[in-house]
Structure 1
Amino acid sequence: MQFGPVPIAQAEGATLAHSIQSGGERISKGTVLDGAALARLAQEGVSEIIVAYPDRGDLSEDDAARRLAFPLVAPDISAGEAVTGRVNLHAERPGLVSIDAATIDALNAIDPALTIATLPDGAMVRAGQMLATVKIIPFFVSEETVERGVAALAGAAPAIRLTPFQPKRVGLVQTMVTGTAQKVLTKTAAVTAARLARAGSHIAREMRVPHDEEALVAALRRMAGDHDLLIVFGASAVCDFDDVIPAAIARAGGEIERVGMPVDPGNLLVLGHLGDKPVIGAPGCARSPKENGFDWVLERVLAGEPPSSAAIAAMGVGGLLQEIETRPRPRDANPAPVPVAAVILAAGASRRMGQHNKLLAVFDGEAAVHRVAREALGSTATEAVLVTGHEADRIGEAVDDLPVRRVHNADFSDGMAGSLRQGLEAIAEGQGALVLLGDMPHVTADHIDRMIGEFQKHGGRAVVRGSSDGQAGNPVILPPGIVSEAAHLTGDTGARHLIEASGAPTVLVEIGRAAVTDIDTPEALASAGGSFEG
């Protein structure tokens, strides 16, 4: 590449090296100069300008960045567009990123013109998060140099690899001694649920038992059958290999991988397994959401790669976390929003309304169920799923002009849980679910969008409920971890017990009387401003 000042008359076709103002407009660096731009500069008295010219065999910065990024694309890793010599690589799914440091170091040693910066090896990432950035420093670089870089990256194993998280049903056991405050245990469950939710997992069941070996053995055996991972928080810290938690794991039929780790905070972690079920004895610091050694082990377990004792031993370099408030964040680390699908429950028999179906009551010339579906479709929800049951044909006709996806619950008479289960199982994995009742005609698209906005503010991990003057009502948004538990819904209890078991925080969004206005009875219908035509 040739670089330096040249007279204006010789600059046509060259690449501008530094931005410059011309006629009230800014000509950005990297612009290929044409005759019109140069004429304007000449009229303003500019006689010389700093530019770059390619040599024979040179690639432009964007072409070079694209070529260098290509061998870094791997399963669940995508590359963005090349802009100003930069290509960013992003995770397509949440997971753990593995970096082959030797390969990246070899690339960066070839020529200062070629650079790749990555997240730390083993970092936990969200869907959409940037993993690495390829940046070409000059405007042009020789093709031969770029090909050397491509060859350095084209090894047998990917230089950057993403291991997606595997959603897991987690059993949480907390032990207690005299004086243990229940509010501490409740907070611990909520903090743990938030950690798990980042990886699409959730607490399926929690047990609180005395801090003794017998009680913990019984709890572990009871939990092991239908959970993928067990986490134990002890009322007292582990101080020996034969202490309550490791001893109970062994007596329950398990094996201990390691007691203690060279990460501070997090030293007092226990890792073992019962058959193929990992068991983590959490250090006391894991009751706080602040990063500690528990996170490093938990994230690997949730990615399906439990660390060996040797791998934990190797965590000491970089394991002093006390003075580190947060991990370094990538340049575009705005959290990717969690998509939310609307599930409209319209299967009930409307028994308290007498001979009429409340969902077909009319508000301003529009059936209630049509109104609810229309508002859902007008929101930022990804789609609307309508669950039918009683008088499915009539309900279907009422929304026939709307692009809702219908699923039918033939067992609607067994209670709401079956309809909710049908709706939640119909939406795509990894989505949150906005659960709407078909008989709440005053909920609007604006209400829904405000709730979805609050859901995104909490990283898609909180339960969000519509409220009226602080009174919780409907709709409700369920995080993906709770949605994945749909198969366990039974009876007429809705998702209440799943929410309680998950430990996820609940956030109320004020939407006025719409949150508590339904039309179950003729009196409620009249009060809400509806009627039956004819």
Structure 2
Amino acid sequence: MKVIDVEDAVGTVLCHDITRIVPGQSKGPGFRRGHVVRQEDIAELRKIGKEHLYVFDLADGYVHEDDAARRIASAAAGSGLKLSDPEEGKTTFTAAVDGVVEINAERLLALNCLGDILFATVHGNQFTARGRKLAGVRVLPLVVPEALIQKAEHLLEESGPIIRVRPLKPTRVGIVVTGSEVYNGLIEDQFGPVVRDKFRSYGSTIIGKRLVSDDQAMTAKAILDFLDDGAELIVVTGGMSVDPDDRTPAAIRAAGAEVVTYGAPIFPGAMFMLARMGDVPVLGLPGCVMYYRASIFDIVVPRLLCGMDVTRDDVLSLGYGGFCEGCKTCRYPACGFGK
């Protein structure tokens, strides 16, 4: 910061607000802190009574907070994002597509450790709808050294972006609904419509729904039939508990699927199964998916629809944050569940 004659201030940055008073009418900032002085401002500044100003001179190797936020955001942003113009020194990241937001926490920490850079995000690996705000970045002072911004840009150039949104891919889905009571028409299927609506909200296509009894061979055949029909993801609803009539896990194995994991440290969703038949995921969905607005389904399925390779370790790691608090008004995904 230095004192400069107002006539020599063009191109410099004001260090503080400058008040304009109109007697009997108004009093407030005529020029805001951070304003870059222009030639046309000189006459007005003199009218306010300013002969000298406290300024930062950008020519001395400093970057204004708006430009700093803009440059860091551009370097940190991956695909699937829209960046705002800086407002009060902060640039905001917004999802440009429906998908799963990915955050590299190590790079984020490394950037924040540089000093005077403040970068905050939501939790990663969660579904996000287009238009949701996901992150923001700004610098702490009004101006920062050019060398700091270059260091940040170099760090991100070497390590890659901090945040991106992986778009959902339109997927052909087959639904197998188990349960002799449904198959025999004793009760109406309520599970299938819930799953259908969830997939449609993700932009996927339901290529069919097959009702089967609690017969292992019938369930396995339905899975194989969907595979022959070109399904890119198959879900089997119900029959996932340890009850003797619940034979879905055995049927998935009998169809030839390789089980990735059976059981997940998620409540609701503990009796979940993830298996694969080649590149086609096969999911065994517990009954809680039908009743809860957010469950294991809402955590894992969007990742699969983005083409992510969900492993056993990925599912087991969901235990940290995998307890739903059962809030009266569900705010998922704007909560800690599954993060």
After superposition, where does 1:123-142 map in structure 2 within 5 Å? 123-142=126-145
State the Cα distance separating 1:214 from its structure 2 match. Answer: 2.6
Provide the residue aligned with 2:111 in structure 1. 107
Tell whether the 8 Å contact from 1:11 to 1:51 is kept in structure 2 after alignment. no
Tell whether the 8 Å contact from 1:16 to 1:32 is kept in structure 2 after alignment. no
Residue ranges of structure 1 left out of the alignment (5+ in a row): 331-534
State the Cα distance separating 1:151 from its structure 2 match. Answer: 2.2
Q: Mark the CA change 1:252 to 1:138 in structure 2 (over 3 Å): closer, same or farther.
A: same
Q: Mark the CA change 1:78 to 1:41 in structure 2 (over 3 Å): closer, same or farther.
A: same
- Aligned identity (percent) is 28
Output the amino acid matched with 2:16. Answer: A
Output the amino acid matched with 1:300. Answer: R
Output the amino acid matched with 1:317. Answer: Y
Aligned mate of 2:149, from 124, 133, 146:
146
State the Cα distance separating 1:163 from its structure 2 match. Answer: 2.2
- Output the CA distance in 2 between the equivalents of 1:182 and 1:18: 71
Aligned mate of 2:261, from 258, 261, 275:
258
Taking CA–CA contacts closer than 8 Å with sequence separation of 6 or more, which of the two structures ends up with the larger relative contact order? 2
Provide the residue aligned with 1:17 in structure 2. 16
Provide the residue aligned with 1:297 in structure 2. 300
Q: Figure out how many residues of one structure are paired with residues of the other and give that number.
A: 319
State the Cα distance separating 1:260 from its structure 2 match. Answer: 0.7
Provide the residue aligned with 2:89 in structure 1. 85
- Output the CA distance in 2 between the equivalents of 1:242 and 1:210: 10
Aligned mate of 2:68, from 46, 64, 75:
64
After superposition, where does 1:223-238 map in structure 2 within 5 Å? 223-226=226-229, 227-234=231-238, 236-238=239-241
- Output the CA distance in 2 between the equivalents of 1:278 and 1:109: 40
**So what's the TM-score if we normalise by structure 1?**
0.53
Output the amino acid matched with 1:59. Answer: V
What is the CA deviation profile of residues 8-67 of structure 1, one whole-angstrom value per residue up to 9, with x for unaligned ones?
Answer: 98996552635856433654443346345445545xxxx999965347211111221222
Aligned mate of 2:78, from 68, 74, 78:
74
Provide the residue aligned with 2:203 in structure 1. 200
State the Cα distance separating 1:251 from its structure 2 match. Answer: 0.8
Provide the residue aligned with 1:213 in structure 2. 216
After superposition, where does 1:270-289 map in structure 2 within 5 Å? 270-288=273-291
Q: Mark the CA change 1:297 to 1:82 in structure 2 (over 3 Å): closer, same or farther.
A: same
State the Cα distance separating 1:279 from its structure 2 match. Answer: 0.8
Aligned mate of 1:119, from 101, 122, 127:
122
State the Cα distance separating 1:221 from its structure 2 match. Answer: 1.9
After superposition, where does 1:315-464 map in structure 2 within 5 Å? 315-323=318-326, 325-327=330-332, 329=334
- Output the CA distance in 2 between the equivalents of 1:231 and 1:104: 36
Output the amino acid matched with 1:320. Answer: F
Tell whether the 8 Å contact from 2:68 to 2:138 is kept in structure 1 after alignment. no
- Output the CA distance in 1 between the equivalents of 2:326 and 2:55: 45
- Output the CA distance in 2 between the equivalents of 1:97 and 1:73: 11
State the Cα distance separating 1:82 from its structure 2 match. Answer: 3.5
- Output the CA distance in 2 between the equivalents of 1:141 and 1:154: 20
Tell whether the 8 Å contact from 1:257 to 1:308 is kept in structure 2 after alignment. yes
Provide the residue aligned with 1:518 in structure 2. none
Provide the residue aligned with 1:222 in structure 2. 225
**So what's the TM-score if we normalise by structure 2?**
0.80
Residue ranges of structure 2 left out of the alignment (5+ in a row): none
Q: What's the RMSD between the two structures over aligned residues?
A: 3.4
